[in-house]
Amino acid sequence: MGEPTTTKRQLLRAGAALAAAAIFSSAARAADGGAAGASAIDSSPLDARLLPGFRVEKVPTSGATLHSVIGGSGPPLLLIHGAPLTHLSWFRVAPELAKRFTVVAPDLRGYGDSSKPEDGENHINYSKRTMARDKIELMKHFGFDRFAVVGHDRGGRVAHRLALDHPQAVSRMAVIDIVPTHYLYTHVTRAFVDAYFHWFLYIRPAPFPERILNGDVEGNFGRGAPPELREEYLRVYRNPANVHGMCEDYRASAGIDMQFDEADLDRKIACPLHVLWARDGAMGRMYDVLGIWKERGTTVTGAAMPGGHNFQETHPQETLAQLLPFLS
């Protein structure tokens, strides 16, 4: 998720202070009750307008149904979005990528118009391991056993787990504007908490963060989105099930995902990895992004990018200039 707006910072600062200590205790308790299914109206009309030539499919996996688009021709390429976004966050780069690749872009479980499974014990149904399995099954549905993957924000964390759990399936991987989750949660600084305070808020037990977010949907979602997507993101997050699904993603990251990551600290990403980060963003200011990822992969390259956290939306040509040579 990108850097918070000033209004959001003011709204949530009080909750952040209480939540920061929770990362060092047990993971947030199971959320109250199950979330409802996806919205009655989905993004299909906007998919047709912003992603011409792509088709929409609702793809069942072992534990979810993923709203997905597929388009183009050539080697398979999986695009995984971040928070609080959807697959449409790729709309300014996906059509160009589809000229060289068969592009698949789903909504993560719990997001957009994908289904919202029950939380599961210790939030297992929103763990990156479970989300990675979704992606394996999604790509198999389209006939692909091996593919390249690009993940932004939360999607990069899913891609990381995908490369560790299913190395035979991932040919190349790019991550956008993240540092590994385990590193962040084991190197907590004042600067990190200040820039990413929502990480500590969203892991609190339901319905505490959900109530805050649902209380001001227009103030909390879509403010920095491209004009084509603002109303879409508001539509998505007016559904409380999407707010809950997003929080479950964060709760899993702070708990069960940390257990999985700790067990795999000696394992490295085997495929070529290309790391892109916002030069003037929080990650770029606070961390040696490329250096940290070089500790997690065997063949790692990278570049600082213009723009903020969602530079695939704001600087699509520069993003394509990095992705196309690497993926090809």
Q: Could you give the residue numbers annotated as active site?
A: 153, 309
73 φ, ψ (degrees, to nearest 5): -150, 155
Q: How far apart are CA 265 and CA 321, in angstroms?
A: 32
Alpha carbon 258 to its chain centroid, in Å, reads 16
Q: Output Rg (C-alpha) for the chain, integer angstroms.
A: 18
Which helix H or strand E contains 104, and what residues bound it? Answer: strand 102-106
Q: How far apart are CA 158 and CA 170, in angstroms?
A: 12
Q: How far apart are CA 68 and CA 197, in angstroms?
A: 30
Backbone CA torsion sign across 174, 249, 115, 40: negative
Q: How far apart are CA 3 and CA 195, in angstroms?
A: 6
Pairing type for strands 76-80 and 102-106 reads parallel
Beta-carbon neighbour count of residue 10 at 10 Å? 11
Structural contact between residues 136 and 105, judged by C-beta atoms closer than 8 angstroms: no
